[in-house]
């Protein structure tokens, strides 16, 4: 009896389906099938987001809401209370503004470097080079590592008695305190986060490059087009949509940078590599005078900046796409 298990299953599955369909009609069935996914999204994203907003309007060191007092927009006012926005030390929450300006500088350099390195790597891996598959895998491996592992690996390399200094001593060079230097540690956070994530962006760009028909390059070759002009006039415009995706993703991830940096430098020396997410973490959970309300307000501000950046980028890329169709 092949149909017996099916009949049994039907007895379990059919009644709720039939009930739902009676309530909502056939169109409502789409909602029914989306429901499990939406439930997960709701529990882990939407509800926390709403709770985060509620917390940002309260004050106190307690986590339980009933122990907290409603203060309205006071936490936001505290965050934004600044004599001169360009000088973090004149602000009431100077750490927030230090972290914000650090993050801004980090994002500008890291995203630029990320796009440049991923693009160059993708261009090279797109050529018929020996061991292409091997290199494609090698550049992707760091993406598979946990950020904490990435942070630890590079800490072993860069710390005072780390691999890099060992090699420098062997070469007769003076060892350097890489992670205790404001400049070097900042550069290290940019380099390590780029190393860890470039494989992913390289993959996106490589897919874009491979989607460009080979004929176009041959036509350009017949037309005696110099390689730089081929890149500028053919490769770059046709890679535009992929570059836009890479830019948005790299921007979002750059602003949210936390784990690798936290393991690698812990935000130091001083506050030289203190970025926004770490600030939020420390204010909310790690400091003695923890202030979950302030942390929630800071994360809402950061989220708003990300939304604005993403929307601006999306509208730009849509406009250029439409211009492309025209």
Partner 1 sequence: MATLSLKDIRKSFAGIEVIHGVDLSVKDGELVVFVGPSGCGKSTLLRLIAGLDRPTSGTIELDGRDVTGVNAADRGLAMVFQSYALYPHMTVRQNLSFGLENTRMPKAEIARRVDEAGRMLEIGELMNRRPTQLSGGQRQRVAIGRAIVREPSAFLLDEPLSNLDAELRVTMRAELAQLHERLATTMIYVTHDQVEAMTLADRIVVLRGGRIEQVDTPLGLYNQPANLFVAGFIGAPNMNLFPATARDGQAELPGGLRIDTGPGAARDGKVTIGIRPQHMHLAEAGEQTLEGRVELVERLGAETVVHAVTAEGTTFVTVLAGQPEVAMGDTLHVTPDRGQVHVFDADGQRVARD
**What residues make contact with partner 1 under the rule CB under 8 A?**
213, 215-216, 218-226, 229, 233-234, 237-238, 324-326
How far apart are CB 224 and partner 1 at their closest, in Å? 3
Residues 261/189, Cβ–Cβ less than 8 Å:
yes
Rounded to whole angstroms, how far apart are CA atoms 68 and 79? 19
What does the CA dihedral 167, 171, 177, 181 come to, rounded to 10 degrees?
Answer: -110
Would you say 143 or 234 has its CB closer to partner 1? 234
How far apart are CB 231 and partner 1 at their closest, in Å? 13
How far apart are CB 80 and partner 1 at their closest, in Å? 43
How far apart are CB 246 and partner 1 at their closest, in Å? 18
Q: Residues for the chain: how many in total?
A: 326
Rounded to whole angstroms, how far apart are CA atoms 98 and 87? 8
How far apart are CB 212 and partner 1 at their closest, in Å? 10
- The single residue listed with the structure tokens 């790597």 is 121
Residues 20/32, Cβ–Cβ less than 8 Å:
yes
Would you say 160 or 229 has its CB closer to partner 1? 229
Residues 199/137, Cβ–Cβ less than 8 Å:
no
Would you say 11 or 214 has its CB closer to partner 1? 214
Would you say 14 or 321 has its CB closer to partner 1? 321
Would you say 174 or 325 has its CB closer to partner 1? 325
Rounded to whole angstroms, how far apart are CA atoms 275 and 101? 8
Is residue 3 reached through a cis peptide bond, with omega within 30 degrees of 0 on the bond before it?
no
């Amino acid at each position: 009896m092949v149909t017996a298990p099916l009949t049994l299953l039907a007895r379990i599955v059919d009644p709720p389906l039939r009930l739902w369909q009676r309530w909502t009609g056939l169109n409502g069935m789409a909602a029914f099938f989306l429901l499990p996914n939406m439930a997960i999204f709701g529990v882990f994203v939407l509800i926390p987001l709403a709770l985060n907003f509620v917390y940002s309007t309260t004050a106190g060191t307690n986590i339980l809401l009933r122990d907290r007092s409603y203060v309205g927009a006071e936490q936001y006012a505290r965050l934004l209370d600044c004599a001169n926005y360009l000088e973090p030390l004149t602000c009431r929450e100077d750490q927030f503004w230090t972290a914000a300006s650090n993050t801004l500088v980090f994002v500008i350099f890291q995203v630029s470097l990320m796009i440049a390195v991923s693009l160059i790597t993708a261009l090279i891996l797109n050529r018929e080079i020996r061991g292409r598959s091997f290199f494609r895998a090698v550049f992707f491996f760091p993406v598979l590592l946990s950020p904490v592992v990435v942070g630890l690996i590079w800490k072993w390399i860069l710390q005072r008695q780390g691999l890099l200094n060992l090699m420098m001593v062997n070469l007769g060079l003076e060892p350097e305190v890489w992670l205790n230097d404001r400049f070097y540690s900042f550069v290290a956070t940019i380099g390590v986060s780029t190393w860890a994530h470039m494989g992913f962006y390289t993959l996106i760009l490589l897919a874009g490059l491979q989607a460009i028909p080979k004929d176009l390059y041959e036509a350009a070759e017949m037309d005696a087009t110099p390689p730089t002009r081929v890149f500028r006039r053919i490769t770059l415009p046709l890679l535009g949509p992929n570059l836009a995706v890479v830019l948005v993703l790299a921007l979002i991830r750059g602003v949210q940078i936390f784990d690798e940096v936290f393991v690698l430098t812990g935000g130091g020396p001083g506050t030289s590599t203190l970025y926004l997410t770490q600030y939020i973490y420390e204010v909310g959970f790690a400091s003695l005078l923890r202030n979950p309300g302030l942390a929630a307000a800071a994360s809402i501000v950061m989220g708003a900046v990300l939304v604005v950046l993403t929307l601006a980028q999306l509208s730009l890329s849509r406009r250029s796409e439409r211009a492309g169709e025209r």
